[in-house]
Amino acid sequence: MVITRMKKIIVPTILFNFKLFITFTFLYFPVVKTKPKSSIFKKIKKFIFILLIANLTFIILTKWINTPITTVMISSLIKGNGLQRDYISYDEMGRNCKLAVICSEDQLFPDHNGFDFDAIKKAIKYNNDPKHKKTRGASTISQQTAKNVFLWNGRDWFRKGLEVYHTFMIELIWGKKRILETYLNVAEMGKGIFGIQAAAQFYFHKNANELTRSEAAWIASVLPNPVMYQVGKPSSLIVRRHNWIVSQMNHLDDDPETMKLINDK
């Protein structure tokens, strides 16, 4: 029932964005002549159409070009947390950090289409239980990437709807390899530290492709809240997460789909 309910939210959201694009395309380029509309209405149509085209163009361009800065990075600067970032290519990232973040954040990443409905079901059940004070998320790597690149932090339904649309689009246009590469370049991995290369340099004074399994797991362990959790002074929770990630890396190491994605050139 929960999965069906989530599909009823996600599918209409995607269809709504598609219909919106088609609607304003025909409004902007009418097939038959109509009576003159007010100049304000024409400006609104033009603005929305340009917005949709600009958004689609940006999604297509970022398949090959790294986004210069994200709203999350801007927010970090505004809050005084600084900005350390160093974009690198997929090949330069190395094997261990890719495996670590998949094990930590989204073990079904190579298989799903952007959404993990089983995880969503469990999260809804957990969050509806009054005994649990903390909220559990169910965002996939694809959803987190969409949020980091195109949107902002938040839990409101409007932002979630935009996240669904952008997740669908990057799964369709980018593909898994580019999504994972972008995630590892833009995800916050410490206070003001963005991307695996900056994190590797800050915590271990080495390049990302030189990280050991344990080191990659330490970085991945703070991803749920990189501002609160610390690699240098890990809490007991982070120690447990680190050990769990390392064990999951050992189990997932022989998964064909995961290895195919990680070793893709």
Q: Encode pLDDT of 81-120 as tens digits.
A: 999 999 999 999 989 999 999 999 999 999 998 887 777 6
User: What does the pLDDT read at residue 25?
Assistant: 47
pTM attached to this predicted model: 0.80
Examine the pLDDT at 58 and tell me if it is beyond 70. yes
Ranges assigned E (strand) in 81-185: 84-85
Tokens found for residue 250: 């050992």
As a whole number of angstroms, the distance between CA 75 and CA 58 comes to 21
Q: What pLDDT score does 182 carry?
A: 97
User: Minimal CA–CA distance to 204: which of 94, 75, 78?
Assistant: 94
Task: Please state, in angstroms and rounded to a whole number, the distance separating the CA atoms of residues 220 and 180.
Answer: 13
pLDDT exceeding 90 applies to what percent of the chain?
Answer: 57
At residue 134, the pLDDT reads 66
| 162 pLDDT higher than 80 | yes
Q: What is the mean pLDDT of the chain?
A: 83
Which residues 6+ apart lie within 8 Å of 191 measured at CB?
76, 81, 82, 226, 227
pLDDT(1) > 90: no
**Does residue 186 contact residue 149 with C-beta atoms inside 8 Å?**
yes
pLDDT exceeds cutoff 60 at 234: yes
* Element housing 85 (H / E): strand 84-85
| pLDDT confidence bin for 191, thresholds 50/70/90 | very high
> What's the pLDDT score for residue 128?
59
Of 132 and 29, the one with more pLDDT: 132
pLDDT category of residue 130 using cuts at 50, 70 and 90: low
Residue 85: strand pairing partners: 194
Per residue in 7-36, pLDDT (tens digit) is 444 444 444 454 444 444 444 444 444 555
187 within 8 A of 194, measured Cβ to Cβ = yes
* pLDDT for res 123: 62
Give the confidence band of 124 by pLDDT, cuts at 50, 70, 90: low
Q: Residue range 38-55: average pLDDT?
A: 87
What span, in angstroms and rounded, lies between the C-alpha atoms of 123 and 116?
A: 11
How confident is the model at residue 232, as a pLDDT? 86
Q: Which helix (H) or strand (E) holds 84?
A: strand 84-85
pLDDT > 70? residue 4 = no
Q: How far apart are CA 202 and CA 156, in angstroms?
A: 33
pLDDT in the model for residue 29 = 46
pLDDT: which is higher, 151 or 155:
151
Q: Which residue has the higher pLDDT, 214 or 6?
A: 214
- Which residue reads 């902007």 in tokens? 28
Residue 200 has pLDDT above 60, yes or no: yes
Is residue 109 within 8 A of residue 133, CB to CB? The reply is no
| Residue 79 to residue 73: CA distance in whole angstroms | 10
Other beta carbons within 10 angstroms of residue 170's beta carbon come to: 24
First CA to last CA across the chain, in angstroms? Answer: 41
Lowest-confidence pick of 59-73, 149-163, 195-209, 237-251: 149-163
